[in-house]
Amino acid sequence: MFRSTILLFLSAVTSLASSITWSDCKVNTTVPVTCASLEVPLDYTDASSNKTITLNMVRLPATQQPSKGSILVNPGGPGEGARNFVLETGEALSLITGPEYDLIGFDPRGTGETIPFSCYSTAIERDLAAVLSPQQLTDSDTAPGLSWAVNRMLAARCYETAGDIGELIGTGFVARDMMQIVDALGEDGLLRYYGFSYGTALGATVAAMFPDRMDKVVLDGVLNIDQYYSGSGTQELLDTDSVYEGFFKSCIESPDLCPLARHGASATNLSNTISSLLEQVKYNPIPLGYTLPTELVTYEALRTSIFQALYAPNTWPALATLLDAALLGNLTAYVQAYNDINGLFSSAGNVFPEKQGTEALQGIRCSDSNLRASNLSDIEPLLRAYEATSYVAGAQEPIPVVIPCVQWKMKAKGAYTGSFSNVKTKNPLLFVGNTHDPLTPLASAMNTSAGFEGSRVLTVNAYGHTSIAQPSLCAARAIRAYFANGTMPDAGTICQPSVALFPPPSASISSILQPLNHTRRADGDEETRLLSALGRVHRGRVGGATLF
């Protein structure tokens, strides 16, 4: 008792001074970031081991010095590093979080250069593409069995080649890593955090594990935390089809800007036209040229492009062009649109090393998940439930997650086993949810928020994944006020988006804004800066390249 009191006291004293040294990042960027690393325990559950790993961090300094402290950010995934995210979006993001805070991105263990989870090889990736992708998205009766068997092989290979790492990269350990960073920063010992998508599962976990150490925590694009860990829920796809409907509706409303509108008299009619196109190319793909995969219109290519585009309404004009070109057989337009949609989710231009693909996603997600099954029939009901929840994504969403995860051989060490209800945090959390989010429905924000006392959900009446997918000045202001002084939006606040769904092509950010009358406000200049910042965050990567 006495001994632990001394230890607590010592750690309280040492936390007053920063033990992190920030220095030049030595990377090619004009963003004024500095870099640092921090040694943390490899295995928090093994008190006898002194093995450590290195967390890599970047910091974007507050524009208004002296800084009031740091906000950690996480872009989601899981499997995404936060260093590249801060380089790409930090300057814009800091206009939302406020000028008084430093932003810090660290690559969670399992990603970047911190025990990256890796078990495929180039040959495996090539073979997977050949074996799985043409069949697994087609509603063929042989596809699930093939997918099950191939993932059994992969799970065995990942266990054999990376089994030791696979149990050390779960969210419970990452949460502890975050608090090590907070300690080492030597600020007030409290966590300030802005997490997107999977970053909300990480945020809910750290808040439940260390409730008395939470300062301002914003969780945006929220997962149902119980379903994330149980692995057996389908709520994530609850609103996916409503986003798809919104795409057709807004296309029909802007026929001058949406060429696809010529193929239907109403949103329903247009939607039917595309359903027929999908059925057609399922059995008769359309060869437009002679280069694969871009010049062959297939069921998989269209389904994948549609689901991806639903994340980010700024790709909707490209999606409309893609579908229009497929219907008309226009090769040039089709290839351009295909590259526009898939390019947004590419990692080209990453400054810090980061392996892309599904390995880190599966490595983290599957070891976190509690669901296991010994054969395909065990999970048939879950696969049917996914299909019943969403026409657009019900068949494809479980493939890279459910089928591998239920066969995964590693389980995360140090997982949080406590409750996610009646959590009493030192300061209340702010949750943010869109009314039409294809992966993190508002219902999940409501559900997870219900477990955190005093927390509130800010609703944004917008489309896409997380509140920066269709920027809202109102939401950005509310988030900034919360970070500034803990001001909560009024209960039931619904923010409207500030950017139209089908803006004129290559329009400036100010001209695509819906009428906000913002120039008449006293702080008009500042507001314009915030809006153009939202536009830039919007064009950056949002919430993970693959699934979350």
Shortest Å distance, C-beta 121 to ligand NAG: 28
* 18-54 exposure pattern, b = at least 16 Cβ within 10 A, e = fewer: eebebeebeeeeeeebebbbbebbbbbeeeeeeeebe
Shortest Å distance, C-beta 120 to ligand NAG: 27
Using CB under 6 A, which of the segments 31-39, 325-333, 356-364, 539-547 binds ligand NAG?
Answer: 325-333
Q: Do the beta carbons of residue 228 and residue 236 sit within 8 Å?
A: no
Q: Do the beta carbons of residue 426 and residue 213 sit within 8 Å?
A: yes
User: What 3-state class would DSSP assign to 71?
Assistant: strand
For ligand NAG, the closer of residues 121 and 375 by Cβ is 375
The verdict on 517 binding ligand NAG (CB under 6 A) reads yes
Shortest Å distance, C-beta 467 to ligand NAG: 17
Binding residues for ligand NAG, total number by CB under 6 A:
30
Candidates 284, 375, 508, 519: give the one binding ligand NAG (CB under 6 A): 375
Mark residue 519 as left, alpha or beta (left: phi above 0; alpha: psi -120 to 50; beta: remaining): alpha
CA distance 381 to 401: 16
How far is residue 333 from each of residues 318, 420, 503, measured CA to CA in Å? 9, 49, 19
Shortest Å distance, C-beta 334 to ligand NAG: 8
The verdict on 508 binding ligand NAG (CB under 6 A) reads no
**C-alpha gyration radius of the chain:** 23
User: What 3-state class would DSSP assign to 434?
Assistant: strand
Draw the binding track, 175-214, toward ligand NAG (x: CB under 6 A; -: no contact): ----------------------------------------
For ligand NAG, the closer of residues 179 and 484 by Cβ is 484
Please give the residues from 448 up to 467 whose contact with ligand NAG meets the rule CB under 6 A: 450
The verdict on 335 binding ligand NAG (CB under 6 A) reads no
- In one-letter notation, the amino acid at residue 513 is L
Place of tokens 């790492």: 165
Please give the residues from 237 up to 296 whose contact with ligand NAG meets the rule CB under 6 A: 264-265, 269, 272-273, 276
Q: Which residues pair with 102 in a beta bridge?
A: 70
Helices (H) and strands (E) counted in the chain, each on its own, are 20, 12
The verdict on 374 binding ligand NAG (CB under 6 A) reads yes
Bond into 293 cis (ω within 30): yes
For ligand NAG, the closer of residues 130 and 515 by Cβ is 515
Candidates 97, 224, 434, 470: give the one binding ligand NAG (CB under 6 A): 224
Candidates 160, 164, 212, 378: give the one binding ligand NAG (CB under 6 A): 378
Using CB under 6 A, which of the segments 8-16, 32-40, 197-205, 476-484 binds ligand NAG?
Answer: 476-484
Kind of pairing between the strands at 34-41 and 52-60: antiparallel
- For ligand NAG, the binding residues (CB under 6 A) are 28, 50, 224, 226-227, 233, 264-265, 269, 272-273, 276, 330, 332-333, 336, 374-375, 377-378, 447, 450, 480-481, 484-485, 487, 515-517
